[in-house]
Structure formats: C-alpha cells, structure tokens
Amino acid sequence: MAAAKEFLEHAQPQAVVVDVQQEGTETFCLNLRAQTNHALTPIVAMVDHVSDLAFAGTFSWGGDDVVAASKTQALVGRLRRLPQELAIPESGRRGVAVVADPDRDRRLVRARVLRNAGYQVQFAVSADDLQRASTDSPALLVVDEELDGGLGVLASANDTTSALYLAAPRRIGALASELQNCKTTLVADGFAPPENIVFLANELSRGGSSDKRSSKRLLYGTRVVFRGEGREEEDFGYSYNISEGGLYVRTLAVPDDDRVWLELRPPRSDRLVRLEGEVVWRRPFGPLGFATVPPGFGVRIVDATASSRALWESGYAAFAAALGLAA
C-alpha cells in the first residue's frame, strides 16, 4: 500500500484496482478520495466472493464496482470501457449541497457523489456550521444523525431547502414522525450506498408533481447476476432501483447486448428469480450529463417464468407497502 500511495502522488491512472484482502485497503481508498485529483478516479475492488456485503462495503469507502478475483476477463472488460479522460463536473449547476457530518470519511464519499451530480458541496462539522449554512438557502442539506444538534436545525429550517436526514434503519420510523411537519425533509438509511442520496434528492425536488410511471421506482440494493442473451460468460452488478416492470443495475461493465438475462433476489424474498430484460438505456462511468444514477444500465422486464414473475411482482408490492407507498 505504501508503494501505491507514493506512486499515486505523482500519477493520474485511468483506474485503481484494489485487493480487499490487503490490510489497509479501506483507509487507502478513503485517502485517495480526499485528494482532488483522484476524486473521480474509478476504483474497482477484487474480492474472493461477490456478495451483497462486498458491494455495500466497497461503496461505503468510495469504490465503484466489485469483481471476483478469479474473473480476470470481468476486470479487463471494465477497464476497457472506461473513458481515456474524465469530464470534470460543472460545479454548482444544481446549486449548493451542504454535507453535515462529524465523520470525515462519510463526508468524503457523500461529497463525491453530489459533485458528480452537479452540486457545489460545502461541509458542516457542527450544528453551528449547519445553522449558518442553512441561512443561505442551499439547494440541499444532507445531515447525519451523529451530528449533535442537527435534528433541531432541520426542524427549524425553512421549507425552501430540501433536506435528507440520514440515520440507522431502526430509527427511521421514529425520526420520520419527529420531522413529519418538515415537508421538505426526508429521513433515510444512513448505511445505504452514498449514491442513494442523489436519487432521494431528486425525489424531494419533484415535490408533489405527478409521476407518470406505471409503478414507482424504489431504492433497492442486491447482487445481480447478468449476461447477454445467449452468452455463456456471466457478470455481477448491484441493483440501484426497481419498479414492477424493470430495474437499474449498477456496474462498470455495461453490456453491449440489447437483451440480457438476470438473476437476483426480489425484495421480501429468500428465493432467486430469473428474468429476461431489454436494455433501455446505458450510463457509462463519469459525470456525463449529470446523470442521476451511477454507472450501469436500465432494464425493462420482457419475459420470465410464471413463478419468477409472480415472485418479483409480489416482492415489489410488499416492499412498496412496507415503505407506505402504493405499488
């Protein structure tokens, strides 16, 4: 790790590949994200077993994708798809986002995804910092529950600023009740991948505008096995959001095929389903167009066995109901 750190002080690689079994990998990557010239550098984690936990851990310290150490071709495919040069995001296009959190590491990874989405980012490490920042009516406040006094600042904030209060999942219900009069504030899972912040911010900015989709898109993360229709080699991604009729898959290995086969576990289920999907849009790596999703591809479900379709639809409906939403 020491040699890699020294090398990166004077180099601008196209990507960084790390072995998570090496001691100090998490700290190494977080320190890399703290450097302005490496804030956008894609990081791919190699693991012995690709799992939900491997993806969640990688995203938490600023990584972009996960590959099995035994799947050399999967790594090569990702590297080949990366752009030779990264476009620098237009800072402030979407306004100012204040990240209020006493923890440096969380501030770094959350700020990265917001900058990539076109926000100008400011930090607050105390309730006083947050209070001062909120008086300027920023576009977005992202407040972690570990910030002492942060809840009180949000409760008294004006209704022109969207705010996310990030908390432990078990506390979300109680905190949502406490902030129920704050119409522009949403309580969300603080342990979820940081990219979820952009999805939630977009939902807040939409306000009460009507949604013309046939079913709501819900944040849902789980491992996805996918491959092009008729192909032998499979790959792994991680779901970002789902609807009754489709899903978005996070990956740097965006498939060229227009039809894909997918295998994943629906919400509220302990069984896998197999689906056939049509790729309806692709998002390469980088802040191109300030896309509101991480790199990956969107899929419309076009076929499945009767049992798989039933499991998918019932899982989605149960998940939507648990979130207090109509499917």
- Do 202 and 235 lie in a common domain? no
Which CATH number goes with the domain that contains 257? 2.40.10.220
pLDDT of residue 160 exceeding 80: no
Q: Cβ(278)–Cβ(300) under 8 Å? A: yes
The pLDDT value recorded for residue 212 is 59
Residue 307 in domain: yes
Which value, to the nearest 10 degrees, does the dihedral of the CA atoms of residues 189, 191, 193, 194 take? 80
Single residue among 184, 206, 228 that ends a domain in this structure: 206
Q: Which domain holds residue 229?
A: 218-322
The pLDDT value recorded for residue 307 is 96
The pLDDT value recorded for residue 19 is 94
pLDDT in tens, 189-228: 999 999 999 999 988 887 655 555 678 999 999 999 999 9
Return the minimum-mean-pLDDT range out of 36-45, 88-97, 241-250, 274-283. Answer: 88-97
Residue 91 in domain: no
The pLDDT value recorded for residue 90 is 61
- Do 112 and 196 lie in a common domain? yes
pLDDT in tens, 222-280: 999 999 999 999 999 999 999 999 999 999 999 999 999 999 999 999 999 999 999 99
Which CATH number goes with the domain that contains 103? 3.40.50.2300
* Reported confidence tier of residue 288, pLDDT bands at 50, 70, 90: low
Single residue among 58, 81, 104 that ends a domain in this structure: 81
At 93, list the tokens.
């296009």
Q: What is the mean pLDDT of residues 165-175?
A: 93
Q: Positive or negative, the Cα torsion across 247, 253, 259, 260?
A: negative
Residue 44 in domain: yes
Q: Cβ(327)–Cβ(244) under 8 Å? A: yes
137: three-class secondary structure by DSSP: coil
At 132, list the tokens.
């001062």
pLDDT of residue 284 exceeding 90: no
Residue 90 in domain: no
Q: What is the mean pLDDT of residues 50-73?
A: 95
- Do 280 and 303 lie in a common domain? yes
- Residue 241, beta-bridge partner list: 219, 248
- Do 247 and 297 lie in a common domain? yes
Single residue among 26, 52, 81 that ends a domain in this structure: 81
- Residue 274, beta-bridge partner list: 263
- Do 74 and 100 lie in a common domain? no
The pLDDT value recorded for residue 290 is 54
* Reported confidence tier of residue 326, pLDDT bands at 50, 70, 90: low
Angle, CA 240 vertex, CA 92 and CA 69 arms, to 5°: 105
The pLDDT value recorded for residue 183 is 83
Residue 89 in domain: no
5: three-class secondary structure by DSSP: helix
The pLDDT value recorded for residue 5 is 73
pLDDT in tens, 17-33: 999 999 999 999 999 88
Tell me the H-state helices in 157-273.
Answer: 172-178, 196-206
Q: Cβ(276)–Cβ(266) under 8 Å? A: no
Give the mean pLDDT of the chain.
90
- Do 104 and 200 lie in a common domain? yes
Q: Cβ(167)–Cβ(142) under 8 Å? A: no
78: three-class secondary structure by DSSP: helix
pLDDT in tens, 113-126: 998 888 999 999 99
Q: Report how far apart the first and last C-alpha atoms of the chain are (Å, whole number).
A: 48
Q: Tokens 């969300």: give the residue.
A: 188
Return the minimum-mean-pLDDT range out of 68-72, 125-129, 154-158, 230-234. Answer: 154-158
Q: Cβ(24)–Cβ(1) under 8 Å? A: yes
pLDDT of residue 323 exceeding 70: yes
Per-position DSSP letters for 145-183, written without gaps between them: TTSTTHHHHHHHS-TTSEEEEEE-GGGHHHHHHHTTT-T
The pLDDT value recorded for residue 289 is 47
Q: 64: number of CA atoms within 13 Å, CB side? A: 28
Q: Cβ(99)–Cβ(107) under 8 Å? A: yes
The total of other beta-carbon atoms located within 10 Å of residue 214's CB is 9
Overall domain count for the chain:
3
Q: Tokens 């939403």: give the residue.
A: 325
pLDDT of residue 88 exceeding 70: no
pLDDT of residue 141 exceeding 70: yes
Q: What is the mean pLDDT of residues 146-161?
A: 86
* Reported confidence tier of residue 111, pLDDT bands at 50, 70, 90: very high
- Within 8 A by CB and 6+ apart from 35, the residues are 8
Which value, to the nearest 10 degrees, does the dihedral of the CA atoms of residues 164, 27, 80, 279 take? -30
- Do 197 and 223 lie in a common domain? no
- C-alpha to C-alpha distance for 325 and 323, rounded to whole angstroms: 6
